[in-house]
Amino acid sequence: MTQPCLIFDAHLDLSMNALEWNRDLRWTLEKIRRREYMMNDRVDRGNNTVCFPEMRRGKIGLCVATQIGRYSPYFHRLPGWSSPEQAWASTQGQLAWYRAMEEAGEMTPIRNRDELDRHLQHWLQAPPYDDGTNYVVDSRSQPPKLPIGYILSLEGADSILTPRHLERSYADGLRAIGLSHYGPGRYANGTDDEGPLHPLGRELLKEIEQLGIILDVTHLCDQAFWDVMDCYQGPLWASHQNCRTLAPWNRQFADDQILEVIRRGGVLGMAFDAIMMVPGWIHLRSKPADFQLRIERICEHIDHICQLAGNARHVGIGTDLDGGYGTEQTPTDLDSIADLQKIPDLLRARGYSQEDIDAIMWRNFIDFLRRNW
C-alpha cells in the first residue's frame, strides 16, 4: 500500500466551523454528521468533510487556518457584523478557540521558520495513523497523536480597526491576511463586486508590508487586484484560487492574474468547491453528479497553472473544504478531507514526477514560507 503523502492545506475555516457551525472538530466525521442529521439551518448540515481525526488520517499535518469577520453596514446584501468593532470581537473569539485547541494538544501555531521546520520534520517522520487518533505501529504502546500545525490567516480585513490592531494581531500570531472577501469591503472590494483599491487599503498594505505579513490576494476583485500589484512589494500568495479559464466566474483568476502571482514568486492553492471547479454551476441548484465531477477535475486546474508557469513550483492545495459548503458541493469521490490522498496517484497517471507531486502537495507552500520568513 502506498504511504500517504504529507499535505499542506493553505485554506481551512476551522474556527468558523467550530464557533458558527458549532462543530467540535475533535469528534469523528460520523459523530458530527449524526449530530446534524435533523438540522436544517444551513444547507451543508450533515455534509461536513473536515475534522481533526480525518486531517490526521489524511496526513494533513499543516494548514493555513483562518479567522473571518465581515462588516455588513445598513442595507448590505451579505450577512455580517453591524460594526467593524463587532467583527473584531468575533475574530478575537476565534483566536481564543485556536488557543483552546493548542492547550488541548490538537493544534500548534507556526509563526516562524524554526517552528515550521521542527513541525515539518515531526510529520515527515511520523508513521501513518489508523483512525486519525493513534499511530499504526506493531506495538501495544502507541505514541500520542501529533498536533496539527496551523498558520493563522485573516480572510478579509474588515475586522482590522486600525494599523495598531494589525500589529496586535501579528503579535498574536497572524501571518497572512486578505483584504477582501465577497462583495464590498472596508479596504477593498471582493468577489462579485468591482472598483479600485480603497485609500484605507493602500494604508493597510504599507503596514502589512512593514510587518512582513503574507498578503493573500484571493477574493480581490479584478481592479483592486491590479491596484494592489502596483503598490505592494511584499510576499503574496492566493490561498484558494482556481482558474477562470476552466470555471468562468470572477471568483477565479484570469490567466494574466495567475501569471502575475507566478511572476511575484507566489503560490496558488487549488480549492475544492464545485462552483470553482466547473463551468455552469448554479448555486443551490446544481449537484456534483450533474457534472460527473470527480477529484480528477482539480488536476486540470493544476495542469493549467503548471503550463502557464512552465513548471510545478507555483501551485498547491488550498481546499476551502467546509467553507460554507459540504459534500453537496464537492467532487463525488470526496467524502472526507482525507480523500485528498487520491491526488498523488491522479497526478502520477498524468506523468508528474514524485518530486513535482511532493511540490504540489506540500513543498511549494513550505518553500514559499522558508523564503519569506
Q: What confidence score (pLDDT) does residue 134 get?
A: 43
CB 284 within 8 A of CB 274: no
* CATH number of the domain enclosing 36: 3.20.20.140
Q: Which domain holds residue 173?
A: 8-372
CB 81 within 8 A of CB 342: no
Query: How many separate domains does the chain show?
Result: 1
pLDDT tens, per residue, the chain with 373 residues: 468 999 999 999 999 999 999 999 999 999 999 999 999 999 999 999 999 999 999 999 999 999 999 999 988 889 999 999 999 999 999 999 999 999 999 999 999 999 999 999 999 998 776 544 443 433 334 456 899 999 999 999 999 999 999 999 999 999 999 999 999 999 999 999 999 999 999 999 999 999 999 999 999 999 999 999 999 999 999 999 999 999 999 999 999 999 999 999 999 999 999 999 999 999 999 999 999 999 999 999 999 999 999 999 999 999 999 999 999 999 999 999 999 999 999 999 999 999 999 999 999 999 999 999 9
Burial 107-131 (b: 16+ CB within 10 A, else e): bbbbeeeeebeebbeebeebeebee
CB 302 within 8 A of CB 270: yes
Tell me whether residue 3 is in a domain.
no
Contacts 24+ apart (CB under 8 A), 296-302: 296/346, 297/331, 298/270, 298/272, 298/331, 298/343, 299/343, 299/346, 299/347, 299/350, 300/246, 301/242, 301/243, 301/246, 301/247, 301/270, 301/277, 302/270, 302/347, 302/360
Tell me whether residue 2 is in a domain.
no
Q: What confidence score (pLDDT) does residue 139 get?
A: 36
Tell me whether residue 129 is in a domain.
yes
Q: What confidence score (pLDDT) does residue 64 get?
A: 99
3-class SS of residue 119 = helix
pTM of the entire predicted model: 0.95
Cell of 193: 463586486
Closest residue by Cα to residue 155 from 199, 100, 63, 220: 220
Tell me whether residue 1 is in a domain.
no
In angstroms, rounded to a whole number, what is the distance separating the alpha carbons of residues 224 and 216?
Answer: 13
